Amino acid sequence: MQLRPLGRTGVQVSKLCLGTMMFGDWGTKDHDESIKIIHRALDAGINFVDTADVYSAGESEEIVGKALKGRRDDIVLATKFFMPMGDNPNHRGGSRHWIMKSVEDSLRRLGTDYLDLYQIHRWDPAVDLDETLGALTDLVRAGKVRYIGHSTFPASTIVEAQWLAEKRGRERFVTEQPPYNILVRNIENEVLPVAQRYGMGVIPYSPLAGGWLSGRYRKNAQEGPMSEARKRLAARFDLSLPENQRKLEAAEQLAQLADDAGLTLIQLAIAFVLRHPAITSPIIGPRTMDHLESQLAAADVVLSDDVLNRIDEIVAPGLTINPAENGWVSPSLQPAARRR
């Protein structure tokens, strides 16, 4: 599989990154089967693996650790912190207190003494960004972390973090992990141009839009998308909402476009993300071996300009059909911030 530079780090990563959110209690509960899927991805040329402490409450990291035994040095391993890990209010967020504990927990579960990429899962406006950067800098200088990144940061905070790193002698964030797919294109407005300006790697998640671009949700489908797991994300999947009806209509048109181009919808969706010059490596998140194989098949697909132009007609550049999927909502829009 073709390798691409991870920003300006000098590290080379596969053009697809294996996401592991679906390994463990949230998805494939059989550890042996999960490990087989991981090994198949590695054998196909993927050398970039992304996980997070919160995935199945640490179980995903444990599975990844088992799968990478004997192969660790050949893999660029990334994990994330920030999301709540239990009821303790200090076991979450971007504080030095939590970062120093969470990194040790992740290293233990992953069975390694260093992380190639350690990412904050979301921006924490309640914590001084320099507090977070200071703690992460100490981890890099201690050799526990090679590089640091963030996920779903607004463009203004990306700029602030780069400024802080230069002004105060901190390690700088070298990657951003945003949501990005044909139906969720908001980051084309500012996040992607800012990442390019600072030479950052971009490793977007959800290239299949949570299944909307897998061919799973069609107008004539017998079952709607409201599985038990998705009821927690009703704003994104409830078909009674007009914005989700618009997504369904777009998915229908995209499926026809893929068929006309001799592709599967999955290939069209992943190839679209791969084509943007700011993108390093989209994160695929298979739950089964069949899922993995269908997504690997997109790695070498190159969309023509005609197909890209047609995609832009279906979903305009910079547009997210359902804003609930942008991943970040400004705290300034919360009711408490708007009341006089």
CA 40, CA 277: separation in Å to the nearest integer? 28
Tell me which residue of 205, 213, 155 sits closest to 52, measured CA to CA.
205
Instruction: Tell me which of 55, 147, 205, 217 is the catalytic residue.
Output: 55
The sign of the torsion formed by the CA atoms of 28, 31, 36, 42 equals positive
Residue 237 is encoded by which pair of tokens?
A: 């999947």
Q: Is 289 exposed, middle or buried (0-12, 13-18, 19+ CB in 10 A)?
A: middle
Q: Catalytic annotation on 205?
A: no
Q: What's the 3-state SS for the chain?
A: CCEEECCCCCCEEECCEEECCCECCCCECCHHHHHHHHHHHHHCCCCEEECCCCHHHHHHHHHHHHHCCCCHHHCEEEEEECCCCCCCCCCCCCCHHHHHHHHHHHHHHHCCCCEEEEEECCCCCCCCHHHHHHHHHHHHHCCCEEEEEEECCCHHHHHHHHHHHHHHCCCCEEEEECECECCECHHHCCHHHHHHHCCCEECCECCCHHHCCCCCCCCCCCCCCCCHHHHCCHHHHCCCCHHHHHHHHHHHHHHHHHHHCCCCHHHHHHHHHHHCCCCCCCEECCCCHHHHHHHHCCCCCCCCHHHHHHHHHHCCCCCECCHHHCCCCCHHHCHHHHCC
Give the residue numbers marked as catalytic.
55
